[in-house]
Amino acid sequence: MRKTKFIFIALSFLLFACQSPQKEAGQSPASDKFSLQEQSISQIQEGYRNGDFTVKELVQAYLDRIEAIDQNGPSLHAIIRVNPDALQIAEELDRELSAGKSRGPLHGIPVVLKDNIDTHDKMPTTAGSRALMHSFPLRDSYVARQLKEAGAIIIGKANLSEWANFRGELSTSGWSGVGGQTRNPYVLDRNPCGSSSGSAVAVSANLCVLAIGTETNGSIVCPSHSNGIVGIKPTVGLVSRTGVIPISFTQDTPGPMARTVKDAAIMLGALTGVDSADEKTWASAGKFYTDYTPFLKKDGLKGKRIGLFTAPLGVNFKVDTLMAQAVRFLKKQGAEIVEIDEIAAPEVGGYSFEIMLYEYKDGLNKYFRSLGADASIQSLEELIAFNRTDTVELKYFNQKYLEMAQEKGDLTDKEYREALAKMLQGSRQNGIDRVMDANHLDAIIAPTGGPAWKTDLTNGDSFQLGSSSPAARSGYPNITVPMGFVDELPVGISFFGRAWSEPVLIEIAYAYESGTHHRKAPGFLTTD
């Protein structure tokens, strides 16, 4: 029987609960009382205009919630560091509003950045590593500078899977030596996925309005899906990586994380542009928008031809059931669905891994040099040596990938150049481009992943299914949107496609979200 038949057979099954989640004893999470619960960018801007609150009052409310929910209460461990200057920045933005000046839709909007994104302020940028606990970059990342110019307030840095989860074997997503273990706000003993774990949890738990994550393969879309939010992994080059601690020059990209497609689209528009220091962005000239809101169309599914990527199906019948419901909705809204069982050849994954090792060594060494002569860590070799002597860093998993990267040569090596050429051809011309051309597709859909697994620091992560690789390896865009729940755990649907196709993906994702409304705030549950 074809795997895709399972999604329709699964409709006859009920989603039985395997456990009995309950609210934590003695806990009264502020989710029920928080006055800004689930507030959107538009609602906050309306509040400013109406005089319902000031920027400083709003920022204080979010800082109080971080203390109550993240540091105390359920102890989510989503935030590594709070910006000590947040209220001072808020006062300045209030003065601008009083003078009749607004920098745009992000004026006065609280944002957190994944802590592998440089900020030149009183917050270090650590990648979650104790080796960088006192590392203060010499300048803002391009992304941080754009956000500040747009009036957003960076209220904190988010916890993450240390070194963006490319350090060693048997790792646990959401754990870092600096921030500890991030917890899933829906069911606290479940994993938040990663590596942008804290960014996703902060948005989902209403610790901020927006967040920035980064992705090499799955690190925006997986935590977004596991925490019931929207994540956009842009085309590589749409958003600058200057000042972002790297893994892969070929695959890395920052991207917006939000509770709605509209908020994510607004944030994306503030992040685009050509950065002279990041050559990948040069290709975005003439292809990017500074405003993606015109693509927010409730009828955006009408007439669209969409491929259903079937490889992730047949693994979890509960996820298949939700996917079948999503397909039925898409068809009802006027989309045509075409089944696709393969996108890229299996060997593309091996090429991607080799590329990551080479580019990791090159990128990390360049990043460490950017920190100046007084930086505590000057090279990948020194980082490896630090971890071997630290009492925490190798407690739960090793650093095999760092060591493998250190053994590689430079980017002129024949092995690297051949792997890069083969991966790009296999994932692009012979991958997504081929499939979309042959089937005349506007986009491809798939379940983003399975329900969150129990966090296990002994055995590491227990990934069940996922669909991030085709878009990640090709460097093409991917948007995940809440698709429903398995028991109390959110599951997402991914929309991905050609390079620079963010406008059409936003149309499709927004139309799906507008007709389904699967997002609901987390309940901070525990299990028996």
Annotation marks residue 219 as catalytic: yes
Give the tokens for residue 476. Answer: 């093409």
Q: Which of 215, 244, 260 is nearest to 510 (CA)?
A: 260
**CA–CA dist 175, 324 (Å, integer):** 34
Determine which one of 31, 141, 196, 219 is catalytic: 219
Sheet holding 79-82, edge to edge: 79-82, 153-158, 110-114, 210-215, 253-258, 230-233, 478-486, 489-496, 443-447, 305-309, 336-340
Residue recorded with tokens 């205009």:
49
**CA–CA dist 447, 431 (Å, integer):** 19
Annotation marks residue 195 as catalytic: yes
Give percent helix, percent strand, percent coil of the chain, each to the nearest 5.
40, 15, 45
Determine which one of 56, 114, 233, 280 is catalytic: 114
N-to-C CA span, the chain: 37
For residue 64, what are the contacts with CB-CB under 8 A and spacing of at least 6? none
Determine which one of 195, 197, 352, 501 is catalytic: 195
Annotation marks residue 196 as catalytic: no
**CA–CA dist 291, 286 (Å, integer):** 14
Cβ contact 117:254 at 8 Å: yes
Specify the pairing of strand 153-158 against strand 110-114.
parallel
The backbone region for 183, taken as left when phi is positive above 0, alpha when psi lies in -120 to 50, beta otherwise, is beta
So which residues are the catalytic ones? 114, 195, 219
